Amino acid sequence: MKKAIAVVVAVAVSLMVGLVLFAPPFERTPPQLKVPPEGSYIGAKAVFVIEAEDRPTGLKEASVALIQEGRTWSLYSQSFPPGTYRLRIPLSFEPKGLGIREGAATLEVRVRDRSLWRFGRGNVAVARVKLLVDYTPPRVELMANTRYIYFNGAGAVLFRTSLDASRAGVQVGNLFFKAFFKKEGQTLLGAALFGIPQYAKACEAHLVVEDRAGNQRVLPLSFDILPRRVPKDRVSLSEAFIREKIYPLLPPEKADLPPEEAFKAVNEEMRQRDEATISQMASHSSPEPMWHGAFLQMPNSKVTATFGDRRTYLYKGKVIGHSIHLGYDLASVAHAPVPAANKGRVLYTGFIGIYGNVVMVDHGLGLVSFYAHLSRYRVGEGDVVEKGDIIGYTDSTGLAGGDHLHFGVLLSGHPVDPVEWWDEKWLRERVMAVLQPFLGNGGRKGEER
């Protein structure tokens, strides 16, 4: 009898031990953490995100602290209700205001789960990350910039900055034009092309240089805006145009829209989406300038529309839409050969909604040329083309009323007036003269940061 009782007790104890060791409430795996990488910088305003996850028991509490020279600053402390399995902690604080000094510091993150392991104390994940605190913005010397810029046109800026600079460019309204760097001794030489397009809704430009900690040095650029006439045009749309050009561009679910709504879907929704796609693609430019001299206009072509033209569309006498033209329309014979405007690398070929078949050529330093409404193209992505190489042929693909080339120029993905880039004198005096130290001996190549 005693033996039987002993066996029962042994089995019960084994079951209890197994329950403790293997049952989900007693799991022994600490929460998973995602923290800033080792050696991250924090500046005058620190912003970062911490993430935690735990299953099956869930998260119970979390704390975040910054430690420097024996002192500890609590940045976050919170308990969570049952059923909290994932956590995202966005932290934003000003270290200098807390008394944290420049130099090394440690970020400590502690997260506890709801496991019953360790007599209900659960599992604790601890991460300690070494950070560098830096409040000093980069040193910047403005060396030169274009002093006269046409409305909708472009300019250039040259500057020198300290080696801690990681990102720079020109801010115009809500547009950012990226700068490129070249190392010279213990400094960086920086250069950027920028524009003053009407859709930026700003006529002031600022050079912004930022370090890895997010500290910024901002310098205003001094220049005069030269006026340039912006034509206004009223375009009457025929039923045939709506039927043959608008409806074929619509997705199947919008094929039954009435003409006015169909046009709005293409002219507004699709145009906005297509221009965002083009901007995103054109923002990936090589740091190496590849162009030489003025850009080519398509030979024997007539200008039928210019940059910035404000168009009002009418259907049966009623205004149904507006648009701003972001390039030059060039008409020649049907299916005219289209030359590359300058040396560069083909960035994209394909169909983009209202622009039909397009080719994009990257010329480096943020400068991209754009060719639209083509019948076909004879180059592929990654091909290097020389100035004058035939890259395609004109047509009326996309939202085009007739055979022509839509030619555009983009800087850091933002369209600017192409007309200047055909002008050798303008290019030499307003751009190359500013950038010469960057492009000169040994300066043909820049580097991205």
Total domains, the chain: 3
CA–CA separation, 280 and 197 (whole Å): 17
Answer with the residue of higher pLDDT: 118 or 113. 113
Q: Are residue 240 and residue 222 in the same domain, yes or no?
A: no
State mean pLDDT over 187-211. 96
Q: Would you place residue 5 in the very low, low, confident or very high pLDDT band (cuts 50, 70, 90)?
A: low
Contact 329, 305 (CB under 8 A): yes
Residue 219 near residue 207, CB atoms below 8 Å: yes
CA–CA separation, 341 and 298 (whole Å): 8
Same domain, 291 and 369: yes
First to last CA, the chain: 81
Q: Are 129 and 36 in contact (CB under 8 A)?
A: yes
Claim to verify: residue 275 and residue 321 sit in the same structural domain: yes
Q: How far apart are CA 29 and CA 304, in angstroms?
A: 70
- Indicate if 401 and 290 belong to the same structural domain: yes
CATH of residue 194's domain is 2.60.40.10
Length of the chain: 449
Average pLDDT of the residues in 52-63:
96
Quick one: which H or E segment has residue 178? strand 175-184
67-81 per-position pLDDT tens digit: 999 999 999 999 999
Task: Please say if the pLDDT value at position 202 is more than 70.
Answer: yes
Residue 191 and residue 223 in one domain: yes
pLDDT in tens, 413-431: 999 999 999 999 999 999 9
Mean pLDDT of the chain: 93
User: Is pTM, for the whole model, over 0.85?
Assistant: yes
Buried b (16+ CB within 10 A) or exposed e, 75-114: beeeebeeebbebebeeebebeeeebeeeebebbbbbbbb
Cβ 431 vs Cβ 394: under 8 Å: no
* 104: containing domain: 26-133
* Residues 322 and 412 both lie in one domain: yes
In a domain, 20, yes or no: no
Residue indicated by tokens 């754009």: 370
Tell me the one-letter amino acid at 213: A
CATH number, domain of 368, equals: 2.70.70.10
CATH code of the domain covering residue 74: 2.60.40.730
Distances (CA, A) of 382 to 147, 225, 357, 366, 398: 35, 37, 17, 16, 24
Q: What is the C-alpha separation between 126 and 271, in angstroms, rounded?
A: 50
Q: Are residues 185 and 256 in the same domain?
A: no
Q: Are residues 423 and 386 in the same domain?
A: no
Q: In the prediction, which pLDDT does 365 show?
A: 97
Which amino acid is it at 379? V
- What is d(CA 73, CA 67) in angstroms, rounded to the nearest whole number? 6
Q: Indicate the pLDDT class of residue 25, thresholds 50, 70 and 90.
A: confident
